[in-house]
């Protein structure tokens, strides 16, 4: 079981009031979203990073509107978030909470000691000075017996360990995200959409998260995704709008948000006119 620590003055941290003011949301909702972020980051392949985060799913869990969660998350950037990494994670969250490494080490040392004692006992039994000598009547198998003597040691229960040693945790090494290459590909395949003129931390966070999604970590997959977007009149802004609502037009940041990407891949915007 993975645990997450809350620091003692966490509920009274003045940053929550600042984030609530910037996002125009309640402080309680801000703290609730951050707690979801901590539990998400604690289960990620690389702890401390948001993985498969969805504003829409968190909004459903907290009975909030998706845009409210998005506003809170964006207001957290530079304060408690750095892209999709939670600030201060390494200092507040230990690598292990349950002491299993120490228990595994003690178990191995105990088994090693038992094994050494068992071997010493076997050696002592074979070399006791008072042991009765038996006549050697089989001269044909002398060499064979001498050869096999050292391999016929019965170590008894040592061969049947009741508890296996703990395995070290596996760490998945993620490749660095080629931010500019993806932006250039977006401009090449979708020249009609709004240009990405600044790589903000929020945009880098979306790109890095999508890059490390499987099987999204190659530029060929991104090209196919952008080409699929180009086939949607709605996403390209070709569907007529209304007096109160101009035609919708996607951009790079919108296309990389988890909930939007899932809807695009499901074909939601490739049929009749849809709403963003």
For residue 77, give the 3-state DSSP assignment. Answer: strand
**Same structural domain, 208 and 158:** no
Residue 87: which residues within 8 A CB-CB, separation 6 or more?
Answer: 79, 80, 81
Same-domain check for residues 186 and 258: yes
The CA angle 177-182-187, to the nearest 5 degrees, is 165
**Are β-strands 85-86 and 81-82 bridged in parallel, bridged antiparallel, or unpaired?**
antiparallel
Residue 86 sits in the same domain as residue 16? yes
The number of distinct structural domains making up the chain is 3
Asked if residue 158 and residue 228 are part of one domain, the reply reads no
Same domain, 165 and 104: yes
Domain presence at residue 237: yes
101: left (phi over 0), alpha (psi -120 to 50) or beta: alpha
Last residue of a domain, one of 70, 92, 114: 92
Residue 117 lies in a domain: yes
Q: Are 236 and 212 members of one domain?
A: yes
Residue 110 gets which letter from DSSP? Answer: H
Same domain for 45 and 63, yes or no, is yes
The answer as to whether 209 is a domain residue is: yes
Residue 247 phi, psi (nearest 5)? -60, 140
Q: Is 23 within the bounds of a domain?
A: yes
Same domain assignment for residues 261 and 183: yes
What Rg, from alpha-carbon coordinates, does the chain have? Answer: 31
129 lies in some domain:
no
pLDDT band at 72 (very low <50, low <70, confident <90, very high): very high
User: Rounded mean pLDDT of 83-88?
Assistant: 88
Evaluate whether residue 16 is within a structural domain: yes
How many angstroms separate the CA atoms of 28 and 10, rounded?
Answer: 12
Higher pLDDT, 210 or 244: 210
The CA dihedral of 190, 191, 193, 198, to the nearest 10 degrees, is 100
Q: State yes or no: pLDDT of 102 exceeds 80.
A: no
Q: Are residues 103 and 79 in the same domain?
A: no
Both structure tokens of 135: 């006549």
Q: Could you read off the pLDDT of 216-262 as tens digits, one per residue?
A: 578 888 899 899 999 988 888 887 767 677 778 889 989 998 888 88
| pLDDT given at position 155 | 46
Residue 227 lies in a domain: yes
Q: Are residues 44 and 78 in the same domain?
A: yes
* Least confident window among 36-45, 95-104, 158-167: 158-167
Structural domain boundaries, residue 28? 10-92
Q: Does 112 fall in a domain?
A: yes
137 vs 133: CA distance, rounded Å: 12
- 66 and 106 inside one domain: no
Q: How many CB atoms lie within 10 A of CB 119?
A: 13
**Cβ contact 255:218 at 8 Å:** no
Please check whether residues 231 and 165 belong to one and the same domain: no
**DSSP of 16-33:** HHHHHHHHT--HHHHHHH
């Amino acid at each position: 079981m993975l645990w997450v620590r809350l620091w003692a003055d966490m509920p009274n941290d003045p940053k929550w009031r600042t984030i609530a003011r910037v996002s125009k949301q309640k402080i309680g909702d801000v703290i609730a979203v951050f707690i979801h972020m901590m539990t998400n980051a604690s289960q990620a392949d690389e702890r401390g990073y948001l993985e498969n985060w969805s504003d829409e799913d968190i909004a459903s869990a907290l009975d909030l509107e998706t845009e409210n969660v998005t506003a809170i998350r964006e207001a957290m950037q530079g304060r408690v978030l750095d892209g999709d990494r939670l600030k201060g994670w390494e200092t507040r969250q230990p690598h292990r909470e349950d002491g299993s490494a120490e228990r595994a080490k003690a178990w191995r040392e105990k088994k090693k000691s038992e094994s050494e004692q068992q071997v010493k006992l076997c050696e002592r039994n074979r070399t006791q000075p008072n042991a009765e000598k038996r006549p050697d009547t089989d001269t044909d198998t002398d060499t064979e017996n001498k050869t096999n003597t050292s391999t016929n040691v019965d170590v008894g229960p040592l061969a049947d360990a009741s508890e296996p040693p703990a395995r070290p945790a596996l760490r998945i090494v993620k490749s660095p995200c080629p931010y500019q290459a993806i932006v250039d590909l977006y401009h090449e395949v979708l020249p009609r959409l709004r240009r990405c003129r600044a790589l903000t931390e929020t945009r880098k966070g979306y790109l890095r998260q999508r890059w490390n999604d499987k099987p999204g970590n190659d530029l060929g997959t991104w090209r196919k995704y952008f080409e699929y977007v180009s086939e949607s009149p709605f996403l390209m802004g070709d569907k007529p709008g209304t007096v109160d609502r101009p035609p919708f037009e996607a951009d790079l940041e919108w296309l990389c948000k988890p909930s939007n990407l899932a809807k695009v891949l499901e074909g939601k915007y490739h049929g009749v006119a849809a709403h963003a």
